[in-house]
Amino acid sequence: MSVKEAVLNAVHEMPDEVSFDDVLEQLEILAAIRRADEDIAAGRVYSQEEIEQEVETWFSK
């Protein structure tokens, strides 16, 4: 689905009485999800174990 299609679908699913802030918030969420999907597809992810090891280093200093 193109970005334009995703935006139009999101807007069409909103109630008639929606604020600009609500629209912007929904579009920000959609953009974040799209970025996350791109990161996953590009292999820019960490395993749960990698994150747990990183967090441990924060508290061992």
Q: Residue 30: which of 13, 7, 11, 14 has the closest Cα?
A: 7
Identify the pLDDT of residue 6.
92
- pTM, two decimal places: 0.73
pLDDT digits (tens, 9 = 90+) for 20-38: 999 999 999 999 999 999 9
Identify the pLDDT of residue 1.
87
Identify the pLDDT of residue 47.
95
**pLDDT at residue 61 above 80?**
no
Structural domain count, the chain = 1
- Which sign, positive or negative, has the C-alpha torsion 23, 25, 27, 33? negative
Q: Residue 45: which of 54, 53, 36, 57 has the closest Cα?
A: 36
Identify the pLDDT of residue 60.
84
Containing domain of residue 44, as a range? 3-10+17-59
